[in-house]
Amino acid sequence: MKTFFGNALTMPYKIIRQIHKIALLMFLAGGALAEEIVILAFGDSLTAGYGLAETDGFVPQLENWLNEQGSDVRVVNAGISGDTTAGGLARIDWVLDAEIDAVILELGPNDFLRGLNPSVARENLDGIMQVITGKGVPVLIAGMPAVTNYGAEYKAEFDAIYPWLAQKYNAPLYPFFMNGIAEMRGQRDVMDFFQPDRLHPNAEGVVLIVEDIGPHVLALIEAVE
């Protein structure tokens, strides 16, 4: 009986057995390498893609960018427009199911836009992180510095939440979700990258956001692998 490896009938049994073991290991390794990584994008309207065509939002653009880098990744959109940290805490446990391998956490802007107490936002985000890390899922914290509407003291207290979370849970921090747009200052009017409400990025703005945060998400994927 001729095979790819030669004449199996004349081949010593131990060699055949070893070949079978090698073939099995190669098969298993190939399956592991091909396994899809599932990332939960957990946030508010910035994650949800408010005001944009479905293909132009943060989640689809990030998924496409990651796949272009050679990663087999699916990004799940768990963004809800208008969601606060309290809303996120209420839903994180049932959203974070068994298929999720990693999380991008982007919440907080709606809290400071409404002038909610920073200590409450901190407690809510702490609770969200407890749930995520309690399930052994790596997380990238995407921060959003507060506006100055409520004074310097309020802003300082709110902005300190994200570094505190990162340190407490030993989690990577991407300090400013809009950094890709902010880095265009001096080159173009940054408002060119926003929708008419001047709060939400347009499709071109999302491209900049994804290109800037993308390498940090790749590092998150490496933590999963």
Q: What is d(CA 99, CA 112) in angstroms, rounded to the nearest whole number? A: 32
Catalytic one among 44, 45, 111, 159? 45
119 part of the active site: no
**CB-CB contact of 109 with 85 (8 Å):** no
Catalytic one of 44, 83, 111, 200:
200
Find out whether 171 and 141 touch, Cβ atoms under 8 Å: yes
User: 45 an active-site residue?
Assistant: yes
Question: Hey, which residues are catalytic here?
Answer: 45, 197, 200
